[in-house]
Structure 1
Amino acid sequence: MKRRGCSLSAVGLAACLALAGCKEAAPPAPATPPAKTQTPPAPPPSAPASATDSATAPPASTPPPAAEPPAAKEPEWIQAKTNVPRSGQKSATLREVRAARNEGFDRVVFQFDGETLPGYRIEYLDGPAIRCGSGDPTEVAGQGRLQISLQPAQAHDENGQVTIASRERTAALPVLQELEQTCDFEGEVTWVLGVKQPQAYRVLELHAPTRIVVDVRH
């Protein structure tokens, strides 16, 4: 009985082993550790835009426009005395005196050599015109006498020859009646304009050629 039992036991053991080999599962594969999630590196901070970056740079400032030069002031019409002295310069030589009618005024032009203008004193006389050499009064047509003294100036050349041939002239103009030179002495030249009656006048200084212009309003 014991041998049978042992035999059965051996057979049973073999059967059990056989059954165990059939049912035995393959050992589980080792667990794969979860993959590490890699965080992408942060982008480097962007560099500040340069001053020449057209997208971010402030617009270039536009320089202000150049200032316009002031316009030449129109000379005023006056009846008071005008005095513009110029000293310390060579005498300007008077070469021509002419008169003409213009729209609204009569014009007298005193033209000089070179580019230097003399000083001038212009005024209406209360009394008669006076010749500077003799001190004698002289008659000038019209109810008003506008005297124009130029200094330093001369109406003769270096040899003493006069540069203005006609020193007394009649003028048949709306206001201007007569022109007379009353002085050419010691650097001063004086002319007197005889006008119908005292009217406002203005003075202009012109160049190329050099001129002093006196306009008497109609």
Structure 2
Amino acid sequence: MMKVLGRWMPTLGLAACLAAAGCKKEEAPTPPPAEPTAEKPAPPAEPAVQPTSAGTVTDTDAGATPAPTAPGSQAAQPEDPKNREWTAGLVDVKRAGFAPVTLREVRTARNEGFDRLVLQFDGDQLPGYHIEYVDKPVIKCGSGDPTEVAGQGWLQVRVQPAQAHEGSQVTVAERERKPGLPMVQELELTCDFEGEVTWVLGVKSPNKYRVMELREPTRLVVDVQH
């Protein structure tokens, strides 16, 4: 024992601590290192949605592609090349079972290598058509009278069921035309009677022609080669 300030203190614990080179504070055990976790691959990015057009592309009169014909019709579908082949013979497509469609516009234009006639109708239904070169005299259907049409060939375009009037009002006022084109010299309406409309193209010579059906708006196109 040791006397300190008049008191005796035990020295055994102090000596033991000094002998052990100092007393260290007991530290908490270090936790084992965490196992590395495999990183999950990021999910592949979804492809961006491309905007689509809400409408349909409208064909123009010049250079348009034939459009599909109405379901259930007797016409050749546009995939059938005979519906757009050049020919000098007869093209006949029959359609029936609906009211006559109204002819609204008749246009002609010059294109590279051919002249074009466009007949534009109301609605989605295209009438049937019968197209062929005819001999003179060209006859008007109502009266049976002959009519003069310029040219050395006469391409008759008959559509039915169709009409070029509403009640007593005509829908195509100009029924005789001289468009001054390289091939088409005159165009005349020869029939608008009992569901039949007929135009005759007076052409410079009876060259080959082709027929196409176009949609939006509904049109029948006839091209005559130069």
Q: What TM-score, normalized to structure 1?
A: 0.66
Once residues 144 and 96 of structure 1 are traced to their aligned partners in structure 2, the CA distance between those partners, rounded to angstroms, is 24
Work out the CA distance in 2 between the residues paired with 1:81 and 1:89: 24
- Say whether 1:102 aligns with 2:111: yes
Aligned mates of 1:125, 1:138 — CA distance in 2: 13
- Aligned AA (2:148): E
Report the Cα distance in structure 2 between the residues aligned to 1:148 and 1:124, rounded to whole angstroms: 9
Select the structure that is richer in helix: 1
Question: Residue 116 of structure 1 aligns with which residue?
Answer: 125
Query: Displaced runs of 4+ in structure 1, greater than 3 A?
Result: 71-74
Question: Aligned pair 1:208/2:216, yes or no?
Answer: yes
Equivalent in 164, 176, 189 of residue 168 of structure 1: 176
Q: How big is the shift at 1:127?
A: 2.2
| Aligned counterpart in structure 1 of residue 190 of structure 2, from 182, 191, 200 | 182
Structure 2, unpaired ranges of 5+: 1-77
Q: Secondary structure of 1:116's partner?
A: coil
Root-mean-square deviation (CA), in Å? 1.1
1:180-208, CA deviations, whole angstroms, 9 ceiling, x for partnerless residues? 00000000000000000100000000000
Alignment of 1:1-218 (within 5 A): 72=79, 74=81, 75-157=84-166, 159-218=167-226
What is the rounded CA distance, in whole Å, between the counterparts of 2:134 and 2:92 in structure 1?
A: 14
Deviations 1:45-64 (A, max 9, x none): xxxxxxxxxxxxxxxxxxxx
3-state SS, counterpart of residue 78 of structure 1: coil
SS in 2 for 1:182: strand
Q: Percent identity?
A: 66
Map Cα deviations across residues 84-106 of structure 1 (whole Å, 9 max, x no partner). Answer: 01011121100000100001100
Give the secondary structure class of the aligned counterpart of 1:76. coil
* TM-score normalised by structure 2 residue count: 0.63
1:160: Cα distance to partner? 2.3
What whole-Å deviation, never above 9, does each CA across 1:165-186 have from its counterpart, x for those lacking one?
1000002111000000000000
| Cα separation, 1, equivalents of 2:126 and 2:163 | 12
1:126 deviation in Å? Answer: 1.9
Q: Which has the larger radius of gyration?
A: 1
Aligned residues: 147
AA at the equivalent of 2:145:
D
